[in-house]
Structure 1
Amino acid sequence: MYRFLLTPRWLGILALTLVAAAVMVLLGNWQLDRYRGRTAINERIDAGSRMTPVPLRDAVPAPTGGDGTAGPAPADEATWSRVTVTGRYDTANIVLVRGRTVDNRVGFEIVTPLVLADGTAVLVDQGWVPPAPGGALAQPQLPPVPPGEVTVVGRVHPTESGAGAVDRRDGRLETRRITVPRLARELPYPVYGAYVLLDEQTPAADPVFQAVPIGHTNNWQNFGYVVQWWIFAVMTLFGYGWVARREARRAAGLDGPAKPLDRAAEPSPSAPA
């Protein structure tokens, strides 16, 4: 009854079905890896909010290159951990990161190099500020930077992807992405390979700075894609089996067209009295 499945045509259909199902399973596995990776990030974010700050060097390798270079990136396990570091802000190289949104408002994140006693520096994201009147790209008015030594407590933020241009306007650097290696090339000292998202500092930061929220990744979206691709794979195999069964029943005459009804042979209804 199912010998037709061994014909070249049906063997080809089977091969295509298996390849399609295998690709869908692999896509599901890829999304599963993405789900696990994003879940791990969310767990590190939650753990970082509860941990006691550790010295910066315990979480991020110190830079070993020359001026204008960035050090190694931190291990994945160290990202989003809370660190503390002491140094002096370099007001000559403040970085304005434009086009950043907080509470549905577009403004700037202010990143300032904190120069350590050994001559290296770490970029500190002090927070978000609104633009000056005149548009979203108008440079904001910034409060004075605390003089002398400053102790910072914050989260280790991995460098952002992308390599947007870095311009200097009115004595300040401007960019759209906090890409540490790219920014390091504009600075006169070695820079750590990640930046610090400020939680608190001593002396206290000016209240004009609004804390940049740390958003969790949407890992459940990836989990939904896992289920979706795996269901598609099962449906593909089920569809092949359903079509093969229908073809087998047709070949056996079990699903042939129904015979037309011969109404002439039916008795006529009785005429009313």
Structure 2
Amino acid sequence: MYRFLLTPRWLGILALTLVASYVMVQLADWQLDRYRGRSAINERIDAGATATPVPLASKVPTPTGTAGTAGPGPATEDTWSRVTVTGRYDPANMILVRGRTVESRVGFEVVTPLLLADGTAVLVDLGWIPPAPGGATAQPQVPALPTGEVTVVGRVHESESASGAVSDRNGLLETRRITVPRLAGHLPYPVYGAYLLLDEQTPAADPAFAAVPIGHANNWQNLGYVVQWYAFAAMALVGYGWVARREARRAAGLDTRPLDRAADGHPAPTGPA
């Protein structure tokens, strides 16, 4: 009954089915990897929210290069760690990051280097402020920063990958992305290879700064894709078996239903009226 499966036509259909199923399984495995990676990110975010802060240098390598360079970034497992560091803000090299949204409002994140005793600096995202009247890109009036020694507690955020142009507007650096190596090139000291999202500081930060929310990665979407691609792969194999079985029954005269022509896109004969 199934010798027809060895004909070139059916061998070709089998090959296409197997290739399609293999591709769909690979896509499912890729989405599974993304699900695991995003789940790990969410776990680090949750763990860091309540962790006791540790010294910055224990999570991010100390930069050893020259002025205008950035040190190595943190290990993956150290991102979102809660760290503490003490230094002095350098408002002369403040960076405004435009086009940032908090609670559906577009404004600026204010990133300022914190100068450390060893001559290095770490970029600290102080928070979000609205633009000045006149539009989303109107440069804001930034609240004054503490002039003395400051102790910062923040979350380790890896450098943003997409590079953007850094411009000087009214004496302040401005960009759309916090790409640490690019920003380091505009600063007169070596910079840590990650920046900090401010949790708290002593003395306290100006209340005009709104905390930048830390969003969880949407890992459930990836899990849905995993199920979808595995289901498609199974459907392709089951569909091949169903069609082959029906063809075998037809060849053996066991399937005489008048649906054969309809299955090929033609209406089934109805006979004389």
- Counterparts of 2:271 and 2:247, CA distance in 1: 25
Shift of residue 174, structure 1, vs aligned partner: 0.4
More off after superposition, 247-256 vs 135-144? 247-256
In the other structure, the counterpart of 1:43 is 43
Q: Label 1:262 to 1:76 Cα distance change in 2 as closer, same or farther (>3 A).
A: closer
Aligned residues: 263
Shift of residue 8, structure 1, vs aligned partner: 1.2
Taking only aligned residues, the RMSD between alpha carbons, in angstroms, comes to 1.4
Unaligned runs of 5+ in 2: 259-268
- Counterparts of 1:221 and 1:72, CA distance in 2: 32
Please state whether the residue corresponding to 2:255 is helix, strand or coil.
coil
- Counterparts of 1:222 and 1:164, CA distance in 2: 28
Please state whether the residue corresponding to 2:211 is helix, strand or coil.
coil
- Counterparts of 1:128 and 1:58, CA distance in 2: 27
Q: Which has the larger radius of gyration?
A: 1
In the other structure, the counterpart of 1:251 is 251
In the other structure, the counterpart of 2:234 is 234
- Counterparts of 1:109 and 1:215, CA distance in 2: 16
Please state whether the residue corresponding to 1:193 is helix, strand or coil.
strand
Shift of residue 256, structure 1, vs aligned partner: 2.6
- Counterparts of 1:206 and 1:233, CA distance in 2: 56
- Counterparts of 2:123 and 2:25, CA distance in 1: 43
- Counterparts of 2:189 and 2:270, CA distance in 1: 92
The AA in structure 2 aligned to 1:191 is V
The AA in structure 2 aligned to 1:195 is Y
The AA in structure 1 aligned to 2:128 is W
Unaligned runs of 5+ in 1: 264-273
Q: Deviation string for 1:6-43 (max 9, x for gaps)?
A: 11111111111011101101100000000000000000
TM-score w.r.t. the length of structure 1 is 0.94
Say whether residues 1:98 and 2:87 are aligned partners.
no
Please state whether the residue corresponding to 2:192 is helix, strand or coil.
coil
In the other structure, the counterpart of 2:164 is 164
In the other structure, the counterpart of 1:109 is 109
The AA in structure 1 aligned to 2:104 is N
In the other structure, the counterpart of 2:261 is none
Identity of aligned residues (%): 77
Q: Deviation string for 1:173-231 (max 9, x for gaps)?
A: 00000000110011011000000000000111000000000000000000000000000
Please state whether the residue corresponding to 1:224 is helix, strand or coil.
helix
The AA in structure 2 aligned to 1:129 is I
TM-score w.r.t. the length of structure 2 is 0.94
